Amino acid sequence: LRDYPSKSAWLVLQLFGSPAEKWPRCPTPAEERCMTFLALNHGAKGLVYFTYRPKTARIEGGSKFLSEELWQSMKELNRQTKEMALPYLLGKDAAGISCNDKSIDLAAREYNGKVYIIACNTRDVPLDAVDIEIGSGALPKEVAVKFENRNVPLENGRTVKDSFS
């Protein structure tokens, strides 16, 4: 998608499970969040979530169709994507940022004087001690982890070492 900047690609994401359609379960909230940010990392400009009759599916179908936990998590996920909309849509790619683990999908966007590093664990297992190297420029002693209310110190003035679930 990033190769075609004049195109406005939207992505339709799964928000359901349907045994009849060979979808054995609906995604977990963590999987839905990962799918959302992977789409944005790769240039999606809009998102649509597809489900079957959300209220009826939650009442009649239980977790096979649309779990109450996933449904309730969508308000927070939508808040997060709204907060990140301007860096994704108006920001520029930031150079010099890399990760030592290829299981981490990494995007770096510079917007309004700040650099946003968006890292998604693409595996279904937690990853520990992942290093994200930050290139040149003046850096703070620690970086804020958005949406997690915590900071991570920079090691050697350039490396963020963190774990990803």
Tell me if 84 sits within 8 A of 94, measured CB to CB: no
pLDDT for 133 equals 92
pLDDT for 52 equals 65
pLDDT for 127 equals 92
Tell me if 109 sits within 8 A of 95, measured CB to CB: no
Residue with tokens 């599916």: 57
pLDDT for 19 equals 66
User: What is the torsional sign of CA 103, 151, 88, 83?
Assistant: positive
pTM of the model: 0.86
The pLDDT tens digits along the chain (165 residues) read 667 667 788 989 988 877 666 777 889 999 999 999 999 999 999 999 987 655 555 555 555 677 888 989 999 999 999 999 999 999 999 999 999 999 999 999 999 999 999 999 999 899 988 999 998 777 888 999 999 999 999 888 889 999 998
Tell me if 34 sits within 8 A of 121, measured CB to CB: yes
pLDDT digits (tens, 9 = 90+) for 23-71: 778 899 999 999 999 999 999 999 999 876 555 555 555 556 778 889 8
Amino acid identity, residue 99? Answer: C
pLDDT for 25 equals 81
pLDDT for 76 equals 97
Q: Cα separation of 66 and 95, whole Å? A: 39
pLDDT for 62 equals 55
pLDDT for 77 equals 98
pLDDT for 31 equals 94
Q: HSE (CB half, 13 Å, CA atoms) of 22?
A: 0
